[in-house]
């Protein structure tokens, strides 16, 4: 099973930014932990601060992977283009967020991508990604 994890803008700063919200573990070390936990899976990771690069990655993998887990960061709330890219691919996509976006600023309460994803997971810290992986193993 091939699963791609995609992180959007500013998530390259995990472990260094707003530790009270996002924790102090860099995503790269967390991703290595996930790979060790699921050796039977082919897990890939992509991060970009550029909306078009995220869309290109969805297009490149959205017809050949078994699942995609995306934390679109701030683009969750603003990007119709990301929503359209997710809607246009065959691979099921799970939306994840480290924090509970519903408890944060009002502008973060709406997800434009959520309605075109098979599910949304939020508020469990980095463990939200593991829960996303588990969702594909159970389907």
Tell me the pLDDT of the chain averaged across its residues.
Answer: 92
Summarize the annotated binding site for substrate as residue ranges.
71, 77, 84, 98-99, 108
Q: How far apart are CA 69 and CA 42, in angstroms?
A: 13
The predicted structure's pLDDT at residue 120 = 96
Q: How far apart are CA 89 and CA 70, in angstroms?
A: 14
The answer, yes or no, to whether residue 24 has pLDDT greater than 80, is no
Q: How far apart are CA 73 and CA 29, in angstroms?
A: 19
**What are the residue boundaries of the structural domains of the chain, listed by start?**
2-138
Summarize the annotated binding site as residue ranges.
71, 77, 84, 98-99, 108
Mean pLDDT of 59-72: 98
Q: Which amino acids are annotated catalytic?
A: 22, 97
For the ranges 8-17, 101-110, 125-134, the lowest mean pLDDT is seen at: 101-110
* pLDDT per residue as tens digits for the range 77-88: 999 999 999 999
* In the chain, % of residues over pLDDT 70: 91
User: Is residue 6 within 8 Å of residue 69, measured between CB atoms?
Assistant: yes
Tokens coding 32: 């290595």
Q: Would you call 17 exposed, middle or buried from its count of C-beta atoms within 10 A (0-12, 13-18, 19+)?
A: exposed
Task: Estimate the share of the chain in helix, then strand, then coil, as percent rounded to the nearest 5.
Answer: 45, 20, 35
2-138: CATH topology: Rossmann fold (3.40.50)
* pLDDT per residue as tens digits for the range 43-63: 999 999 999 999 999 999 999
């Amino acid at each position: 099973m091939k699963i791609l994890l995609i992180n959007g803008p500013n998530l390259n700063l995990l472990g260094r930014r707003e530790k009270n919200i996002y924790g102090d573990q860099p995503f790269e070390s967390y991703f290595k932990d996930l790979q060790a936990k699921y050796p039977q899976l082919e897990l890939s990771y992509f991060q970009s601060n550029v909306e078009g690069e995220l869309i290109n990655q969805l297009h490149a993998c959205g017809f050949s992977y078994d699942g995609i887990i995306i934390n679109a960061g701030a683009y969750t709330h603003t990007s119709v283009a990301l929503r359209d890219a997710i809607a246009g691919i065959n691979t099921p996509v799970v939306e994840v967020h480290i924090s509970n976006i519903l408890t944060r600023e009002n502008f973060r309460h709406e997800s434009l991508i959520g309605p075109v994803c098979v599910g949304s997971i939020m508020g469990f810290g980095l463990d939200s990604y593991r829960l996303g992986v588990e969702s594909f193993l159970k389907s």
